[in-house]
Structure 1
Amino acid sequence: MRKIDYLFTEYGESHQDSTNKTIHWICVPLIFFSIVGLIASIPSAPVQQFLGEGNVYAHWGTVLLIPVIIYYVTLSIPLSIGMMLFSAACLALVNVIIRLNVGPLWAVCIGIFVLAWIGQFYGHKIEGKKPSFLKDVQFLLIGPAWLMHFIYKKIGIPY
């Protein structure tokens, strides 16, 4: 069995309840996005010097996603492409929030992060099982890929 299949099976064991799954479809992408946004909020002068002054993607959020995508590549190249596209969407949304100036990016992302985690823990209360990441921290990255694999299955792309 491939490592990715093992991880999805293991992750899926604590995600059987339909309400918990629905909550995960909302909260997991929000948590992923909020972490990218929080990291992008860290002052990034060295990154801008390296990637170019004025480059809207020259921040620590972009830097963070490099090892994340490499991790996904080690699990599944096709799946890593989907995760790369989702990551690019997160980076674009970070820039939209900055341009709209609805508030400090870090504050918006903390709000999203807290609300999404409340949702996650509520879903697991309904499920009656602890979140997978309490067993193994890598499941924090498996959650988004687990959702992506369902999208792949739905449209007939092997992962």
Structure 2
Amino acid sequence: MRFPRWRAAHCAAPACAAQRASARGLFLARLSVTLYWEPEEPTMASLFERQLQAYSGYHRDHRNRATHFVGIPAIVFSLLLALSLWRLPVGEHAVSGAWIVGLLAVAGWIALDLTIGLAMAVATLVMVLVAGWLTSHLGSGAVWILFWVLFIGGWALQFLGHAYEGRRPAFTDNLFQAFIGPMFIMAEALMALGLRRDLAAYTQDRETA
């Protein structure tokens, strides 16, 4: 018994040459795409825009935003006030913890957005200087009392605003949002002054009533 043998399909020489040329062209085209394709990497600017948009989604109610304009600066200043009591010896001088933490925070804000970061640098400088003046003219007991008043009061305003919002704070889902909060307030302030209108697309998810 003979079994059938498989034979390669026969094609005319010109047709086979055309098929091989087409296959080579397709392979080279795919190879060039593979070699020269560069994946798009998210930049720090796009990271800030995404985080700003996410933060805005938790702050649509105008009353919530209003409480944050007071609550967030109160919390930040209270922390800088407490850190001003901590002194780190540097050579013959002592640098307060407020300067160290403030510089680190400003560096992070500038890395995310230059304009907002520089504005935050000015605001942070003012708060650090005021905190330093208070700690040098008040006793530590009075400073701690002021810290607790501002810290608790700031958080009370935060939670009051989110009671209006009907949604928990953003940092409960993403801790990084706590770092974005001060930038959000600064972005809103700059846009109110007619600056950085390009950020409006990331902060307009709000209720107007």
Structure 1 position 98 matched with structure 2 position 138: no
Report deviation, 1:51: 7.4
How far does the alpha carbon of each residue in 1:58-78 deviate from its partner, in whole angstroms, 9 at most, with x for none? 201111112211111221111
Tell me, yes or no, if the aligned pair for 1:41 and 1:106 is still in contact at 8 Å. Answer: no
Contact 1:20 1:127 in 2 (8 A): yes
1:29 has 2:73 as partner:
yes
Q: TM-score normalised to the size of structure 1? A: 0.86
Gaps of 5+ in 1: none
TM-score for the superposition, normalised by structure 2: 0.67
Mapping of residues 101-116 of structure 1, within 5 Å: 101=138, 103-116=141-154
Q: Could you say which residue in structure 2 is the equivalent of 1:60? A: 97
Unaligned runs of 5+ in 2: 1-44, 200-209
The residue type equivalent to 2:122 in the other structure is L
Cα deviation code 1:108-137 (max 9, x no counterpart): 112210111011111101110010011111
More helix by proportion, 1 or 2?
1
- The 4+ residue runs of structure 1 with deviation greater than 6 A are none
The number of residue pairs the alignment matches comes to: 152
Q: Quote the RMSD (CA, aligned, Å).
A: 1.9
Distance 2:80 2:92 in 1: 17
- Secondary structure of the corresponding residue to residue 90 of structure 2: helix
Between 1 and 2, higher relative CO (CA 8 Å, sep ≥ 6) is seen in 1
> Aligned-pair distance for 1:100?
4.2
Matching residue of 1:80: 117
CA contact (8 A) 2:102 2:124 kept: yes
- Structure 2 residue aligned with 1:49: 90
CA separation of 1:77/1:101 partners in 2, compared to 1, >3 Å: closer, same or farther? same
